[in-house]
Copies of this chain bind each other. A is one copy, B any other.
Amino acid sequence: NIRNLAMEKVATTIFFPCRYSQNGCHQRLLHTEKTEHEETCEYRPYQCPCPGTVCKWHGPLEAVLQHLTTQHKSVTSLQGEDIVFLATDIHLPGACDWVMMQTCFGCNFLLVLEKQEKHEGHQQFFAVVQLIGTRKQAEQFQYRLELNGHGRRMLWEATPRSIHEGVTAAIQNNDCLVFETSMAHMFSENGNLGINVTISKRRP
């Protein structure tokens, strides 16, 4: 017992280096803080932000764009703050995803639309925008997704995710544009769904 107490004393006073210290992180952390820090540590390698692929790539933020443009050539790209993200063949059965890149304000954003069956027998669509950048950079922006047609309009506005955190949690928590299959069909034409995407700078 005396020994354990001694060990606990050590654990609450000794500082450990972050596991990403070799990548440049200079933080020193208590044992109790270590896991939480490393999860969001900005020096943690970035994973490939393409949804629905089995790509195992990871590396520094600076290398993500090149990885995408060379290894995921099917991801198309559009310039401008206000573009249309066209998802084709949305009626195809099963889980699907659509990705495209939007470039504006000197930054690159990845637009993601996923069709998922989170609840059995009930397919839904989830759309979200990620910045190819850090969380801090992402917080300077705001995105708007808009569906329009037949006298109806649906809109979602939020802060982009950083590709460092990814979109899995956002989709899992419905912290994105969520819409039903019937709505997707109503807003689509010939099986193609156009989502208006507008990116803007947050007012300071």
Q: A157 — which chain B residues lie within 8 A by C-beta?
A: 152-154
Asked whether A159 lies within 8 Å of B154 as measured between CB atoms, the reply is no
Asked whether A182 lies within 8 Å of B173 as measured between CB atoms, the reply is yes
| CA of A119 to CA of B119, assembled, Å | 8
Q: A173 — which chain B residues lie within 8 A by C-beta?
A: 182
Interface residues of A in 55-101 (CB under 8 A from B): none
Q: A9 — which chain B residues lie within 8 A by C-beta?
A: none
| CA of A186 to CA of B180, assembled, Å | 20
Q: How far is the CB of A143 from chain B (nearest CB, A)?
A: 11
Q: A153 — which chain B residues lie within 8 A by C-beta?
A: 155-158
Asked whether B154 lies within 8 Å of A155 as measured between CB atoms, the reply is yes
Given contacts A173-B182, A182-B174, A183-B174, contact A155 B155 (CB under 8 A): yes
| CA of A159 to CA of B150, assembled, Å | 10
The count of identical subunits is 2
A36 within 8 A of B: no
Asked whether B183 lies within 8 Å of A178 as measured between CB atoms, the reply is yes
Q: How far is the CB of A165 from chain B (nearest CB, A)?
A: 15
A204 within 8 A of B: no
Asked whether A151 lies within 8 Å of B158 as measured between CB atoms, the reply is yes
| CA of A130 to CA of B181, assembled, Å | 24
The residue of chain B having its C-beta at the shortest distance from the C-beta of A178 within the complex is B180
Asked whether B151 lies within 8 Å of A159 as measured between CB atoms, the reply is yes
Q: A186 — which chain B residues lie within 8 A by C-beta?
A: 175
Interface residues of A in 131-179 (CB under 8 A from B): 142, 151-159, 173-175, 177-179
A3 within 8 A of B: no
Instruction: Give the contacting residue for A120; candidates B120, B158, B183; CB below 8 A.
Output: B120
Q: How far is the CB of A149 from chain B (nearest CB, A)?
A: 11
| CA of A177 to CA of B186, assembled, Å | 14
The residue of chain B having its C-beta at the shortest distance from the C-beta of A179 within the complex is B178
Q: How far is the CB of A171 from chain B (nearest CB, A)?
A: 11
| CA of A119 to CA of B153, assembled, Å | 24
